[in-house]
Structure 1
Amino acid sequence: MNTNSRNVTYSTVGDYQLPNLTLNQPRKPLGKYGRLRRTYLKEQRPVLYHTMLMNGSLYPHLMEVEQNAAAMKEHLMTELLKSNPAPDKKSRQMEWVQHMNSLKAQAEELVLTELIYS
């Protein structure tokens, strides 16, 4: 039996009336940084996580973090390359790969510290 009260529908389950609640499903899957932020909130800030989940602001927040983190990483990589130029890619390929991996790790650490785990 369904009844309506303040635009909320209820279903009878046994002796109880339970609200028919649905969460808005994300349209686009989360990327790496959005998933990391979600895990951080869930494990380290559970009250905030559940509040955002229930009021519908969690997914927009995670998408914003995802976009900001990607933009920040891109910007940091550009700045790090300016201050620490990479060796010639054609003649010193392994050194170039090591250098780029090192810069990427530095940028990633800053993104995680400043955006994901704060």
Structure 2
Amino acid sequence: MNTNSRNVTYSTVGDYLLPNLTLNQPRKPLGKYGRLRRTYLMNHRPVLYHTMLLNGSLYPHLMEVEQTAESRMRQSMEQLLKQNPAPDKAQNQLMWVQHMNSLKAQAEELVMTELIYS
């Protein structure tokens, strides 16, 4: 039997020839938004998820979503801060933290709607 068809090598395990397959492992772990997008695709768009997984385009797509989401978060936070300036951090830290958390939640909601769950 030919053990090297189409540049695939095989190993003998007992009575069977098993292909030596390796997956291209991601170089960089996914961040929060990439993982959320992956979960969304797995649960709500399984055909697209499996197609992308099999043709090797899933990880690049998830990394692109991650980078775009991070960039959009920064831009949204800057814009929201211009529209709604934060209180003085030195005088009232708790109000500053509350204000910043509120702005972050608004920015994240936009990112989730536009990039993750679409």
TM-score (structure 2 length as normaliser): 0.89
Which whole-Å CA distance do the structure 1 matches of 2:46 and 2:16 have between them?
28
Share of identical aligned residues, percent?
81
Do the aligned residues in 2 keep the contact of 1:11 with 1:18 (CA within 8 Å)?
yes
Q: What SS class does the counterpart of residue 23 from structure 2 fall into?
A: coil
Q: What SS class does the counterpart of residue 71 from structure 1 fall into?
A: helix
* Structure number with higher strand proportion: 1
Give the unaligned 5+ runs of structure 1.
none
Q: How far did 1:15 drift? A: 7.0
Q: Indicate how the Cα distance of structure 1 residues 27 and 2 shifts in structure 2: closer, same or farther if over 3 A, else same.
A: farther
Please name the residue that 1:59 is paired with. Answer: 59
Please name the residue that 1:29 is paired with. Answer: 29
Please name the residue that 2:103 is paired with. Answer: 103
Note the aligned Cα RMSD (angstroms): 1.9
Q: Indicate how the Cα distance of structure 1 residues 17 and 51 shifts in structure 2: closer, same or farther if over 3 A, else same.
A: farther
Give the unaligned 5+ runs of structure 2.
none
Please name the residue that 2:71 is paired with. Answer: 71
Q: What is the total number of aligned residue pairs between the two structures?
A: 118
Which whole-Å CA distance do the structure 2 matches of 1:2 and 1:106 have between them?
60
Which whole-Å CA distance do the structure 2 matches of 1:49 and 1:14 have between them?
35
Q: What SS class does the counterpart of residue 27 from structure 1 fall into?
A: coil
Do the aligned residues in 2 keep the contact of 1:33 with 1:65 (CA within 8 Å)?
yes
